[in-house]
Amino acid sequence: MKHLILLTLFLICFAPTVNAQSPDIVSDPICFQVRNSQDFTMLGTIGTNFYVTPDGTKARHRSNFRLGAAGSVDRDGYPNDRAEFCSYGPFFAGRKLELTIRTLFPVFSCQTRLDMGEIVIKAKRNDDDSGYDYWAECFD
C-alpha cells in the first residue's frame, strides 16, 4: 500500500512534466484557410513547433505562401487570394501554429489556433504614408 501511494504521488508530480515535453501531434490533419483582404500580394509562412529528430537535432515544418490581391483568381478561375493548409503538428500549446507575414523581412508574427475559422491577413497605410502596418486576425 505504501508503494502504491508513493507511485501515485510520483505520477501526480511528474506526469505533467513528461506530457509537456512530448510534441502535440494528431493522427488526422487539422486544416484551415488563410485569406488576403488587401489589394496587393501578401507573403508569409506557416510554421509548426520545434521537435527533435531521430538524430537529435531540432527541426520544424514550415510552409511559405504567396496570396494574390483580394478577389484575384488564377488562370483556371480558382481564388488566388486564399490558401488552405493542413497540419499534423507538432503544435504549440493550445493547438496553435505560427503565422508570419513578411515583405523582405518579417513584419508580423503570431501564434494562432486553427479551429476558430479563416485567418484573415490585413494591412493599413501609415498616417505619414511611409509604409504599411501588417497584421492577421489570429485566434487565442
Q: What is the pLDDT of residues 27-85, one digit of tens each?
A: 999 999 999 999 999 999 999 999 999 999 999 999 999 999 999 999 999 999 999 99
In a domain? residue 24: no
Residues with Cβ within 8 Å of 45's Cβ and at least 6 positions away in sequence, in order, are: 62, 63, 64, 65, 98, 99, 100, 102
- 94-130 pLDDT tens trace: 999 999 999 999 999 999 999 999 999 999 999 888 8
CA atoms of 32 and 119, how far apart (whole Å): 8
Does some domain include residue 55? Answer: yes
Is the pTM higher than 0.75? The answer reads yes
Specify the DSSP class assigned to residue 118: P
Work out how many domains the chain is built from and give that number.
1
Taking the C-alpha atoms of 116, 120, 125 and 127 in order, what is their torsion angle to the nearest 10 degrees?
-10
Q: What is the CATH number of the domain that holds 81?
A: 2.60.40
Flag whether 113 is in a domain.
yes
Residue 131 lies in a domain: yes
Is 57 inside a domain boundary? Answer: yes
- pLDDT for 63 equals 96
Specify the pairing of strand 119-125 against strand 132-136.
antiparallel
DSSP E strands, 24-105: 30-36, 42-47, 51-52, 58-59, 62-67, 82-87, 96-102
Indicate whether 7 belongs to any domain.
Answer: no
- Domain assignment of residue 132, yes or no: yes
pLDDT score of 13 more than 50: no
Domain presence at residue 12: no
Residue-range definition of the domain harbouring residue 122: 31-136
